[in-house]
A and B are shown apart, each in its own frame.
Chain A
C-alpha cells in the first residue's frame, strides 16, 4: 500500500473540496427550473389532534398563490402511504404493526410539524402568505410523549393496540436466565439513550419537475440514496413508473442518516409538479428540519450483566423500549432490532445473551437511523455495563476487558446474537489506546485536578459495529425489503480517461477522491484521469446509496470487480493485437505486457484500440471498454476499537471538559488516511455531542422545546479537544480491498467513553445524558 503518491493508502487532498470551499458546489437549492413555483408546507401546531376541516378559500385568493393541496388531494390521485422497508416480527411470530402513513395527514395529526398540506405560489413570499391564510379546524387531543409509559396511554393509531409496533426478541432466554442464576455478581443499569436531532448543514430540499412531452418526472432532492427514493416513489407511492421517474441527488451537505428516508415533502413536491405541469421547489427552513427530519436514538433500557467473581462475563440481559415517534419512517423498525440487538456481544465472549425490544408509537417526530443507527445505543449499553461491573468488582478497566475479549484465534467467531465476526484484534487497539492516553499517569493527573478543587475521571469504550450493509441474503431473511448490494460501472473513454459511476452516494464523505484513488491505483492511471459520478438514477443502473459505513466496503468492492473486468477485457484486446492469448498478458502499473517479450501497450493505447477496433474478431471480442459489476458482500464488516476519554469537571460549576480523547480504530485497510481521520473526528464530535450537549426535548404537550440552536446544543470546535486518532489493522477477510468502513465509528464509540469518564469523575453509578453543567453540578452535590 502506497504511503505516498495518489494510490490506495495515500492521504490525497479531496478533489471535491475546492468547489465546496469556494461556494461552487451545486446543491438542490441551487437548482432552478424554468417557470418554477415555490412550495410551503402546512404543519401541525398540535402534537395530536383531529382535523375537522381545512378551509383553503382565503389562501387561494392570496395574490400569487397557484394551488393549495391537502392530504385528500393526494389520496384522490391514488398517492400511497410512505412505507417502512423492514418487516420485524414480534416474539409471537406476528408481523409488526405499521399504521397508515399518508404523506400529508388526512384525518388526524400525530406530531408537531407533521405536514397536512402545501401551498404553491409564484414566489416564496406568496406561498408563505397563502399558508398563513389557510384555516384548519383542529380538535386538540392529549399528547402521548413519554415512551416508557406509552403502552398505558391513549391509543394513537386505530390499528395499533397499546401503541406497540412490535415486541421483538433475540438470543437464548433460557440459557441467559441460567447464566444469571449461576452468577457470582450481577451488574445492572437503567439507561436512557437521549433523543438526538440530526442537523445536517444543508436542510432537506426538493425540486420536482414534469416534462409533459416525455411524461418524465425529474426530482432533484437531498437524498443519500436516489435509487431507493425512486423505487419507493414508483412502486409504493406510485407517482410514476421507474422508467419515467428520474431522481438526482446533486451535492448534498451532510446526511448522517436523516437523508436516507423517503419523506412527505419530496413526495408531495414531485406529485404537485405533475399535477400543475410546472416545476415546484421546496427547501426546509432550519425550524422545519428540527420538527420534521427523522430524529435519532430515544431508548429506555434496563440492562444486566452476569459475572463470575473473577470478572468473566456469563450472560447479558437487555430490555429496551424504543421510540418510533408517530409513524414508522423508512427503516425505523430495523434500527433498534437488527442494528442493535445483534451487537450486544460487543468485543466479548459473553456466552448467553437475551435482548427484548418493544417499539412504541408516541406523538413525536418519527425516529430512524442516525449516524451509527442502533450500534451506538448497543455500545452504550454494553460499555456502560462493563465499566459498571468493573467498578462493582474493583477491577481494572483494561483488565476486565482483556479477560473477556474474543481472541484473534477465535475468529471467525459466531456470537449468541446472530452475527459471525470475521476478524479482529481487540487487545491491539486497547494497548495502543492505553499508551496514547498515558494510563499509568492518570492517578497523578486526577490528584492534580483534585488539588485544584476539580474532579477527573477516565472512561473506556471498546466498541464493535457491523458495517458494510449488508449481505442481501442475510438482510432479506431478516425482513429487509430491498437488497443491499452495490453497483459500479467503469467507463474507459477513448483517450484513456475513466468515468466511474457508482451507486454509492457522497454527501460529504469524499467518494470522488477515495473511489478515484482505488481506480487510479488498480488501473495504473493518474488520479486526475478518473472522474467519479454518483447520485443520478439516469446515469447509473442502480444503487443503494450511502449509510451504515457501506460505501468503500460494498461500493468499493463493486468497483474492484468492475476494474477487474476492464483489465480482463484489456488483456483480450492486447492479446489480439499481439496475436497471442490473454493468459500471456500481464497487467502492472498501467502497462499490458506480454510474458517473455518486450512487447507492451499502455492503458491509454488499449483504450484507444478498444474504440478503434481494427480487425477485431467481432464474434469473440466486442469493441468498447466499459464494464459493470454488482457486488453483494458475504458478511458484514466489523470495525472495532477502543476509545478512551479523560474528563475534568469544574468543582464549582459542574462544567465537564474533555481533557483528552484517544480513538484507536481498526478499519482494516485504509484508502485515504486523511479522509478517514476526518470521518473519525466528525463521528467523535457527534458521540461527544450526545454525551454532553445534544438533547431533543418535547414538553408534556408534545411541543418541541429544543426547536432551534438557541436551545439545541450542537457541538462546536471549542467543545471538543484535539483528538488523538490512531489505527490498528486486521484486514476484512471477505472483500477484495480488506476494508471495513469508518463513517460511524466515532459516533458509536465515543458516547460511552465520555459517560464512563464523567460518572467515574463524579463517583456516581449513572447520570442522564446529556451531562449538562447543571446535571453534573447536582451530581457533585449528591456525591458529596
Chain B
C-alpha cells in the first residue's frame, strides 16, 4: 500500500495549485459577489487540460487518471468553489457520458472544442420540478421521434452551467410506458431553437456557478444525437453520478482545506488574553479536528478514485467518500467561522463564503441521505 502520489500526480497538483493561486483564488470574492462567471481563468484552463480532464488525448483532452482529476477539482475548490463546481460539472457530468457512451462522430463533433476551451462549457440536465432523486418515476421531459428528428418537450431544474454551455446532455423519457428502460440521453446544442434558459437562480452560495431552469419547447435535434443506447439513460446517469460523487467529494475537501488554512492563519494573528488564540486549547481542538477530518476525507476521495482507476466497481466507495467529505467540509467551514468569531460572520472574511458554498455539497449530486441509501443497498447485497 502506497499513500504517496506518483511524480505525475504531484506535478499536476503543483501546476494546478499555482494556476489557482494566481488566476482563480484572487477573484473568488468578486465571483461570489457579482455572480460573474470567471471566464478569464476558465479560458486559460483549456490549454492546461483542466477542461478535458478525463477526455482522451486524441480528442484534445488531458486523459489524466481519476486521482489526478480529483486533485484538479480539489485545488480549484481551494481557490473558488463556484468555478470548481462549473468545471467539475463540465468534466464529470457532461463530458463524462460523451466520452463513455458517445459515438465516434459525437466525440469528434464535441470533445475537441469543449476540452480545449475554444467553445463554452457543457452541462448535464437531469433534475425536473418533480424529479430529483427519483428520476425513474419523475422525469416528464419527453423526446418523441418524428421523421429523422427527436422532438423534445419539458422542463428541467437546477441545470448547472446552462447559460455558459454550448452542449446540454439531457435526460429524457423516450418510452412513455415507464420503467427502468424508458429514459435516454440526448445531446442538445444550447443554441437550438426552443431551448429557453430562465434567469439564474438566486442561491445561498456558489453564486459564480450559474444554475438555471431550462424549458424545452418543441426542440428538434437529429436522431443521431441520441447518446448511448435508447432506453439506457437511467443506467448511464447512475454511472455518471458515481464518478460525479468523487468530484463533489474532492470539491468539498478543497473548500474545507481553504477554510482550515484561513482559520489557522487567523488563529495565529488574533490575540486574546495576551496570546494568539491558536494557543487556546478550545481553538486548537477545532483546528486539530479539522486537519484530521480533512485528511481522512481526502484519503476516502482518493481511494474511491483509485478504485475507479483500477476498473473495479466503486459505487459504494464514491458514495461513502461524498457523504463523509461533504459532511466534514460543512463542519470544518462552520468551525472556521467559529475560530474567526464575529469577523467570521462578516463578508469581509472568506470563511463566510466558504460556509455558504459548501452547504450545497451535501445536497447536489445526491443528498447525504441518498448516499446513505446507496451505501446501505451496497452492504445489504
Partners in one complex: no
Question: A residues near B, CB below 8 A?
Answer: none
